[in-house]
Amino acid sequence: MRVVVAVDDAGLLVEGLRREGIDVIAEVAAATPALAAADGMLGADAEALLRALADADALVVSVSHATMSPTVVALCDRAGTRVMPLVEDAAGERVAAACGLEAPLSRHTEPWRIAEALSSGPATATAAPRESRPQAKVIAVWGPAGAPGRSTVATELAVELARGGRHVGLVDADTHAPSLALTLGLADEGPGFAAACRQAELGGLDVRELTRISVPLGRTGVDVLTGINRPSRWPELSDRRVVAALAACREWADYTVVDVASSLERDEEIVSDLDGPRRNAATLAALRSADLVVAVVAADPVGIARFLRGHADLRATIGATPVAVVANRLRPGTLGIDARGQVRRTLDRFGGIEDVWFLPQDPRSTDAAILASFPIAEVAPRSPLTLALRRFVGEAVVPAPEPQRAATGRRRALGTGRGRRAARAAADEAARLGAPAA
């Protein structure tokens, strides 16, 4: 069997394949097939690859967003060459599935196993039954004007949701000040969410296309659809496009976390009776499409006042959609003694909000994450902010099953001082009556 190997640092792999009787006729960098398939990108290596593919039975290639695309598959199909995918992580597996490749092997698989797979023919990827997949959800992260930390909460929320092996999409739908690409060190010149919206309007947005235009966030299991790189491009995110794109995201990811702008006004509809574009349409469409809205409030007097004014508009926009309120950057300096209690009482009294989750201020971890262009959970896994957000996810976003939660509640009750005193009193009474204690 004659093969072409497109894998970086493939010396040991090539040597092992040749020991197993595989004829490696060419060895190129992993990105070379993508360059050969792109128009106007033909270099000496790409031209040599095209000639080699015509004589090869298979292409052994390391699969990632940068090395694999439908054009590479089409190139191999025209040459009659089989594609044997090797992957490094779950992101590579999703790319291989989106491109319709056979079941991939790990990049670190022994050469003899790869040779055996090449000799035995293509393997079919066995997908899990559709019924076993949990219902996909869209979560919109909103907050009032004044930078309460919407983008930070959205990013960390996506990372925490992906910890259970879930596939999570992180979408920047902010039409006023998109920032996810900047804070995470991602290129904002790519297609991103605007391209997803355009494809959705044309009916061409599917799982394969979303995988192609998204950017993996390291090894977190999160794929990012970056926002518009200039605020003047906001007409591209129309109401109808956003709704259609988020509907496609439900087929693509288990959870889709959407970072939206703060403004909820519809003033432009008052001054114009034309059916023109609305700058806040993306925010309103994402909020109405969401299964859960995470409302972020800055835990200081100004932030709370702004939140209470915007909360009524939020409720009028989303109707009965559940809202989880998160008080971000909690610190005693601006609220004095019992800062947590003051926030709870204020939101309950003036907004009717009873359940509030708190995220502490952690400037050291936040600054380190911005400097490294990584999520806080990756830079400082034991950060108080990360641990508090993990608790929020476990209690409000992905709650435990009811029997387990009930048992947990009983254990907590027994752990309190009142619960222990009640248990001791019951035991004393049982001993006095000569009956066994419960």
Q: What is the pLDDT of residues 288-338, one digit of tens each?
A: 999 999 999 999 999 999 999 999 999 999 999 999 999 999 988 888 788
* Residue 113 to residue 17: CA distance in whole angstroms: 9
Range of the domain at 311: 134-399
Claim to verify: residue 283 and residue 429 sit in the same structural domain: no
Q: Which pLDDT value is given to residue 405?
A: 47
Q: Is residue 360 part of a domain?
A: yes
What's the length of the chain? 438
Claim to verify: residue 110 and residue 257 sit in the same structural domain: no
Could you give the number of structural domains in the chain? 3
How many C-beta neighbours within 10 Å does residue 313 have? 14
Claim to verify: residue 264 and residue 281 sit in the same structural domain: yes
Give the global pTM. 0.73
* Residue 263 to residue 146: CA distance in whole angstroms: 11
Kindly provide the residue ranges of all beta strands, DSSP E only, lying in 260-381, ordered along the sequence: 292-298, 323-330, 356-360
The DSSP secondary-structure symbol of 135 reads P
Claim to verify: residue 213 and residue 319 sit in the same structural domain: yes
Q: Is residue 127 part of a domain?
A: no
Q: Which pLDDT value is given to residue 152?
A: 96
Claim to verify: residue 350 and residue 413 sit in the same structural domain: no
* pLDDT score of 130 more than 50: no
* Residue 208 to residue 198: CA distance in whole angstroms: 15
* Residue 410 to residue 412: CA distance in whole angstroms: 5
Q: Which pLDDT value is given to residue 368?
A: 95
Q: What is the pLDDT of residues 276-298, one digit of tens each?
A: 678 899 999 999 999 999 999 99
Q: Which pLDDT value is given to residue 35?
A: 78
Claim to verify: residue 239 and residue 222 sit in the same structural domain: yes
* Residue 164 to residue 161: CA distance in whole angstroms: 7
How many C-beta neighbours within 10 Å does residue 370 have? 16
Q: Is residue 233 part of a domain?
A: yes
Q: Which two tokens stand for residue 172?
A: 């920047």
* Residue 23 to residue 174: CA distance in whole angstroms: 52
Q: Which of 377, 154, 393 is nearest to 259 (CA)?
A: 154
Question: Are the CB atoms for 326 and 294 separated by under 8 Å?
Answer: yes
Rounded to an integer, the average pLDDT of 404-432 is 48
What is the distance between the terminal CA atoms of the chain, rounded to a whole angstrom?
Answer: 73
Question: Are the CB atoms for 172 and 249 separated by under 8 Å?
Answer: no
Q: Is residue 148 part of a domain?
A: yes
Q: CATH number of the domain at 19, please.
A: 3.40.50.2300
CA 87 → CA 62, 107, 167, distances in Å?
Answer: 6, 5, 17
Q: Which of 323, 321, 381, 331 is nearest to 358 (CA)?
A: 331
Q: Is residue 29 part of a domain?
A: yes
Last residue of a domain, one of 120, 145, 163: 120
Question: Are the CB atoms for 14 and 5 separated by under 8 Å?
Answer: yes
Q: Which two tokens stand for residue 242?
A: 């956003």
In Å, how far from its chain's centre is CA 388?
19
* Residue 203 to residue 344: CA distance in whole angstroms: 46
Claim to verify: residue 340 and residue 422 sit in the same structural domain: no
Claim to verify: residue 50 and residue 139 sit in the same structural domain: no
Q: Is residue 129 part of a domain?
A: no
Claim to verify: residue 239 and residue 370 sit in the same structural domain: yes
Claim to verify: residue 250 and residue 287 sit in the same structural domain: yes
Last residue of a domain, one of 74, 98, 120: 120
Claim to verify: residue 59 and residue 138 sit in the same structural domain: no
Claim to verify: residue 91 and residue 30 sit in the same structural domain: yes
Letter for the amino acid at 368?
A
Question: Are the CB atoms for 266 and 114 separated by under 8 Å?
Answer: no
Q: CATH number of the domain at 179, please.
A: 3.40.50.300
